[in-house]
Amino acid sequence: MLAKGIEFGDTIGIVSPAGCDDTEIINKKISDFKNLGFKVKIGAHVFAKYGYLAGEDKDRASDLMDMFIDDEVDAIICFRGGYGSARMLPYIDLDTIKKHPKVICGFSDITLILNYLYKKLDLITFHGPMIKSNLSDKITREYFFNATMNKSANYQIDLNSFDNIQIYNSRSISGKLVGGNLSIICSSIGTTFEIDTKDKILFIEDVNEKIYAIDRMLTQLSLSNKLNNCKGFIIGQFTPNDNDMKEHNFKLEELLYEKIVSLGKPTIMNLPFGHEYPNITLPVGGSVKIDLNENLIYPSKPFVK
């Protein structure tokens, strides 16, 4: 299921399904976003604070549903991640969203929402920048626009244009993308919101996790058969934990090789998406071709209509 592509001048619904922020930060970031050429509609509880959450669970879910229902709203971008999406997801109405499909974008904790809506509704969603992100970063901004506008005609990832890309088990594949934040993916296992990786191309990233924690999470994915049944892998930014410098530790590259590359599936490492910049946009549920002869990733089908 495809949502209508975003156009400049559209009204973007802004919601906070997870964490909260100070009013000054919210106003500044929303102003910056409007300057890109959009109108905005702000969820009723974006400024709310309920502990570390942007309002109570039903309220955050209500904000999200309101944006899908509202005919004035053309697309939805989450203000920030943090934690809390899992708490509000039981209160959303999938049938209503199916009747009002829209572009929805976010990352980090929003991983859960993106993959759930794709899994249940076949709605292509977008793992990409949020309102709080640094949209002055040119590459981040351009990939977001190219993924969500113009029927995705301009979307192409040239792996040769990025530094430090590593490719293993090099052969070209086609498939649908799923994934996002590693810890959020793992937290969904055994729940209604569990990610489906069968015959998919899995992309993962994470921030401030110690090596042993990344090991534990990748092992969990392996033991739950979430890695073996993938077609391939795209590894993004694993922003390191600054205190994780023990003498006898694994290096991240060693761990990723052992847990992922050793499976013999095509693997791209160090693609710039995640909690640093640039943070390029990837379509959850989007059909792509990974051409490892030309080192290109491009759509097999449009991501939006």
Q: Alpha-carbon distance 180 to 281, whole Å?
A: 11
Q: Which is it for the CA torsion 295, 169, 228, 237, positive or negative?
A: negative
| Strand extents, DSSP E, the chain | 11-15, 39-42, 75-78, 103-106, 125-127, 157-158, 166-168, 173-181, 200-209, 232-240, 267-269, 282-284, 287-291, 296-299
Is residue 183 part of the annotated active site? The answer reads: no
Q: Where are the alpha helices (DSSP H) in the chain?
A: 23-34, 57-69, 85-88, 94-99, 111-121, 138-148, 182-187, 211-223, 252-259
- From the candidates 45, 127, 183, 205, which is the catalytic residue? 205
Tally the residues of the chain. Answer: 305
Our answer to whether residue 275 is catalytic in this structure is yes
Distance CA 97, CA 106 (A): 17
What's the start-to-end Cα distance of the chain, in Å? 9
Catalytic, 127? Answer no
Identify the active-site residue in 62, 85, 108, 187. 108
Q: Which residues are catalytic?
A: 108, 205, 275
